[in-house]
Structure 1
């Protein structure tokens, strides 16, 4: 007799009006249990179907879990939380994945892996199973971005067939409700140091007669947005650092006089724009650092390095105030010297270009100083001890 304590594997399928293909998916999963001897259950995480999918599932002996909160991620989390197996294999209920051939996933899970990803590009994609836009652009690009941003070796970030230890996945704090859930599982598992592997799997043509729920550009952007948000280095730090260095070096060079590159001359008007670029870049760098410090403070899973940990130990309200004050004073001194030079000539007329040339770095230093002081104050807020419930 099968009881909840003896179930090893839960096959979870998100469902939203999948009456055309749900039965064949359930039968394939049940056939796998019979053939392999794996003690398992089929859990249908229903997201509000109106086509009778729930009745089909119950008639075939699957367990139906009603998930009222809409979205692919919401449905899957509802099913995962309700599952009782030690291991979970999730996959779409559109008959594009073969639930009768789950041995590679179960073998890796039994070997100790926390997350086992399917790879459709290694296993094979049937003609017409994946739109060319997804096959040659969307999936390869987003998977490359994921490997670039995070220390992951996964080649197919968005394969819908994947297996994992239930407790391991529940421990990493998955929160997204939409299609970006697929990326979140890989990213947070990687950042949490879980043991991850990849096995070939095949992708068949969708068995439904209606269009899929996936919206290429909208859901692709949601995946990319998630990857960017979870990697402030690429979204803010690297672009900000480049902008800051270009602006700062250019501003300093022009503070000593006009610069000519070939037939092109640069003067104070260029210096003004470089001032703005420096400030924007510095703000982006500060935001990246503050975002990582906040995530560290709250216990989020984020990429960390020894250099960042050393910085985090030294980043305090006091250190920010000291650095910011030093920058502000440097700019203020330049302003005072300019004022003294003007007073020495009886506050008469000045050469506008030469005056602005020095006023720009003075203003820049004071602005950067104030920004640094404000960042230090935010760090002070983060460092206030609080009693958490």
Structure 2
């Protein structure tokens, strides 16, 4: 009997990432369908995506989680992957994250390996370290990184019933997965400096909001 590989949709939440999308989209591996979720861009990001023949979903409710979840709801493939659209991650390495899922892992995370000191500033590394420590104390699941490149089965992700619609969405996914006893795998992926300024952690106010959102997810 011939084994049929699961289909894959790649959700790319997007807010003013026209320049980065022009680099990211040609690198999406064959057989992976990209879904760009435009969360209110004013720089023509949606037009860039359509120019590459990529499906665009418009999400008017602002927030990283809103964009991610809109992509999940729009997906139809067996497996759904998520990745930042800012050029910090290379879609050509997506196979590294898909392989554990195809082998039976419930959720696979790409552990970020910075390609330069500018890719992951110390304060953001520290915040990640604190969060994975709190995650371990809360759920018993020990990870190195809350990797933004990730993949899981679509029906299982929908069953998690994720509620956060801001920057806590990726953390909530891991928390809910851990609470349900999912097998969470980590694989290394390269992490390069993003193109442009982050809409989540690119400003002091953005960092405060992100910490607040994630702390709410980890609250008992």
Instruction: Give 1:102 shift.
Output: 1.5
Tell me how far apart the structure 1 counterparts of residues 59 and 6 of structure 2 sit (CA, whole Å). Answer: 22
Match of 2:140 among 148, 151, 171: 151
- The whole-number CA distance in structure 1 between the counterparts of 2:46 and 2:94 is 24
Matches within 5 A, 1:297-376: none
TM-score w.r.t. the length of structure 2 is: 0.91
**Counterpart among 49, 68, 71 of residue 76 in structure 1:** 68
Structure 2 SS opposite 1:14: strand
Name the structure 1 match of 2:9: 10
Work out which of the two has the higher radius of gyration on C-alpha atoms and give 1 or 2.
1
Structure 1 spans left out of the alignment, 5+ residues? 1-5, 34-38, 232-389
Q: What is the total number of aligned residue pairs between the two structures?
A: 211
For the pair 1:212 / 2:198, whether they are aligned, the reply is yes
- Alpha-carbon displacement from aligned partner over 1:237-280 (angstroms, at most 9, x marks no partner): xxxxxxxxxxxxxxxxxxxxxxxxxxxxxxxxxxxxxxxxxxxx
TM superposition shift of 1:125: 4.5
Matched, 1:168 2:160: no
**SS at the partner of 1:194?**
coil
1:56 and 2:42 matched? no
Structure 1 length as normaliser, TM-score? 0.52
CA shift for structure 1 position 108: 0.8
CA contact (8 A) 1:7 1:41 kept: no
Q: Quote the Cα distance in structure 1 between the aligned partners of 2:60 and 2:174.
A: 25
Partners of 1:22 and 1:156 lie apart in 2 by 24
Contact 2:132 2:142 in 1 (8 A): no
Matches of 1:13 and 1:118, distance apart in 2: 15
2:88 corresponds in structure 1 to 96
Contact 1:7–1:40 (CA under 8 A) maintained in structure 2: no
RMSD of aligned alpha carbons: 1.5
Q: How much does 1:167 deviate?
A: 0.8
SS of alignment partner, residue 44 of structure 1: strand
- In the TM superposition, residue 7 of structure 1 has moved relative to its aligned partner by 7.2
Alignment partners' CA distance in 2, 1:224 and 1:125: 29
Query: 2 CA distance for matches of 1:71 and 1:124?
Result: 26
Query: Matches of 2:32 and 2:174 in 1, distance apart?
Result: 24
Task: Provide the secondary structure at the position in 2 that maps to 1:224.
Answer: helix
CA–CA distance in 2 between the matches of 1:225 and 1:112? 30
Segments of 5+ residues of structure 2 without an aligned counterpart are 201-205
Q: Stretches of 4+ moved more than 3 A in 1?
A: none
2:111 is equivalent to residue 115 of structure 1: no
Q: Look up the match of 1:272.
A: none
CA distance in 2, matches of 1:93, 1:184: 20
Shift in Å, 1:126: 2.1
Q: Match for residue 186 of structure 2?
A: 198
Residues 182-203 of structure 1 show CA distances to partners (whole Å, capped at 9, x for unaligned) of: 1100000111222211111121
Equivalent residue for 1:384?
none
Whether the 8 Å contact between 2:64 and 2:166 is mirrored in structure 1 is yes
What residue is the counterpart of 2:124 in the other structure?
A: 134
Q: 2:169 aligned with 1:181, yes or no?
A: yes
Pick the structure with more helix per residue: 1
Counterparts in 2 of 1:185 and 1:116: CA distance versus 1, 3 Å: same
Structure 1 residues 143-189: Cα deviation after superposition (integer angstroms, max 9, x where no partner): 111111112122212x2111111111100110100000011000001
